[in-house]
Amino acid sequence: MKAIILAAGIGNRMMPLTEKIPKPMLRLSGKPLLEHILEYLPQEIDEIIMVVGYKKEVIQDYFKESFQGRKITYLVQENPAGTFDALSLSRPYLEDGERFLLTFGDDIYDRESVARCLRHSYAFLIGEVADPRRYGVVVFNEDGETIQEIEEKPAHPKSNFVAPGVYIVDTSIFDYAPDAQLSQEHYLTNMFNQFVKENRVFVEKVGFWLTFAYPEDLEKAEELLKRR
């Protein structure tokens, strides 16, 4: 099974740390964030498609053509045209109907939680936060275990559960092109909402999740990893 990792962003909020290296290559406990991410991928993942852009050579020079026996294919997003554009680069590398794991190059999760997602045909990892208003908030179906909708940064969230960034989908996701009027940050949310209307998408709760937005988040994460 393939994992697609979107790692092309600049990481503006991490400046000045990202002046010379991309955000996924910032170090945590002695190794890049992206290496932590590759390590949490379940054993079912045997190939990696990595979309790179800003300072791409730093990532390519570090990981080369493989990581722990998994082949890496690099796709270059020449212009920062958003997540839909980045994901679309991977379509020629997937068979029709092929399931894949989609994630980003700047958050860390535990392998067990991600592995549980693979038990379902389609699944999103979810996490509970105190203030979900800056995330994509999960609205559940009546069964409480599948997704009805994701609301992007709502003023009045319907739950405290958010979708932090691990998705098990298949190539039918590409059938749902986002509305051109949307802002770039809404592109994937719009696609996912169309996808969940036509497919039964399960949720799995994350056990361990580290997110990085600002330089001080790295220091906090160091302490959390030590305690873990």
How far CA 133 is from CA of 99, 130, 214, in Å, comes to 30, 9, 18
Identity at 78, one-letter amino acid code? E
The answer, yes or no, to whether residue 23 has pLDDT greater than 90, is yes
What pLDDT was estimated at residue 183?
54
Q: What is the model's pTM?
A: 0.93
The answer, yes or no, to whether residue 180 has pLDDT greater than 80, is no
Mean pLDDT, the chain, rounded, equals 92
Cα 12 from Cα 92, distance rounded (Å):
30
**CA angle centred on 111, ends 86 and 131, rounded to 5°:** 70
Domain architecture of the chain: domains with CATH: 2-227 (3.90.550.10)
Both structure tokens of 38: 């590759």
Q: E strands along the chain, which residues?
A: 2-7, 27-28, 31-32, 47-52, 66-67, 70-76, 99-104, 107-109, 123-128, 136-140, 147-152, 161-162, 166-170, 202-205, 209-211
The answer, yes or no, to whether residue 223 has pLDDT greater than 90, is no
What confidence tier does 179 reach under pLDDT thresholds 50, 70, 90? low
What pLDDT was estimated at residue 184?
56
- Identify the CA nearest to 218 among candidates 60, 40, 61, 25: 25
Cα 145 from Cα 147, distance rounded (Å):
7
The answer, yes or no, to whether residue 219 has pLDDT greater than 80, is yes
Cα 132 from Cα 172, distance rounded (Å):
28
Cα 66 from Cα 69, distance rounded (Å):
6
What confidence tier does 182 reach under pLDDT thresholds 50, 70, 90? low
The answer, yes or no, to whether residue 80 has pLDDT greater than 90, is no
What pLDDT was estimated at residue 228?
67
Higher per-residue pLDDT: 81 or 207: 207
As separate numbers, helices (DSSP H) first and strands (DSSP E) second, the chain gives: 6, 15
Q: Which residues pair with 128 in a beta bridge?
A: 161
What secondary structure does DSSP assign to 115-142, as a single string?
HHHTTSSSEEEEEE-S-GGGSEEEEE-T
What pLDDT was estimated at residue 226?
76
The answer, yes or no, to whether residue 102 has pLDDT greater than 80, is yes
The answer, yes or no, to whether residue 177 has pLDDT greater than 80, is no
Q: What would the mean pLDDT of 66-88 be, rounded to a whole number? A: 92
Least confidently predicted of 25-34, 109-118, 177-186:
177-186
- Residue 179: DSSP 8-state: P
